[in-house]
Amino acid sequence: MKKILIATNNKGKAKDFEALFNPYNIEVLTLNDLEQDIDVEETGVTFEENAILKAETVSKLLGITVISDDSGLEIDKLNGAPGVYSARYAGAVKSDEANIEKVLTELQGVPEAKRTARFRCVLAVAGPGQETVTFSGSCEGVILEEKRGTNGFGYDPIFFNPEMDRSMAELSPEEKGRISHRGAALRQLEEHLPQLLDSIGEQQ
């Protein structure tokens, strides 16, 4: 059976990829399914560099096709920060609450017109003997002055999407998937699925 590994421990992300590949009889694995503990240090300065680094490193280790993603929040007033440091913006230990508080503090007193931001996601696909390809998506919005909503994760409660007239944390998973940065990147990937499926060999 053909296999593809998603370089994540996040079960929510894995479900998105399972929905994409299951109709093609491809087994979707994640880092949680491996006996070995793989931790790739993300030393890139862009989402693209980190996604490629992760996908290629894990693919070489395991000898199978790997998809990785790197994503985060870019705030114009903060010169694109937190960017690639989104997950650990407030410190070495990941904390959504601490990250949100840091952003709100840094934007204190900044008017709505200057609180523009976007979520960005880059997917990288790497496989044995294959040229690595990337797919990207973004979602434009505005940073709120306080949290709204209880769905989602990360910066969702303070990211207002004008198209939906709600914060990302006020959207259902289905609504979020239609307009999110990861949803956009996944749709790009899906458009190139025929070529990708041809490149995935029978892997043990």
pLDDT tops 50 at residue 120: yes
Binding positions are 8-13, 41, 70-71, 153-156, 176, 181-182
C-alpha to C-alpha distance for 2 and 134, rounded to whole angstroms: 21
pLDDT digits (tens, 9 = 90+) for 140-179: 999 999 999 999 889 999 999 999 999 999 999 889 989 9
Active-site entry in 16, 69, 70, 76: 70
Mean pLDDT, residues 105-128 taken together = 96
Tokens of 6: 């998603």
Binding positions for Mg(2+) are 41, 70
Peptide bond into 82 cis (omega under 30): yes
The three-point CA angle 93-95-98 to 5° equals 110
- The structural domains of the chain, with segments of one domain joined by +, span 2-199
pLDDT bucket at 201, cuts 50 / 70 / 90:
low
Binding positions for substrate are 8-13, 71, 153-156, 176, 181-182
Spell out a b/e string for 88-111, using b for 16 or more CB atoms within 10 Å of the CB, else e: ebbeeeeeeeebbebbeeebeeee
The pLDDT value recorded for residue 93 is 85
Asked about 70 being catalytic, the answer comes back as yes
Which strands sit side by side in the sheet containing 2-6, from one edge to the other?
Answer: 26-30, 2-6, 66-75, 116-126, 133-143, 159-161, 166-167
Residue 34 in 3-state DSSP? Answer: coil
Claim: this prediction has a pTM higher than 0.75: yes
The pLDDT value recorded for residue 203 is 47
Fold of 2-199: Maf protein (3.90.950)
pLDDT digits (tens, 9 = 90+) for 20-49: 888 888 889 998 888 777 878 888 899 999
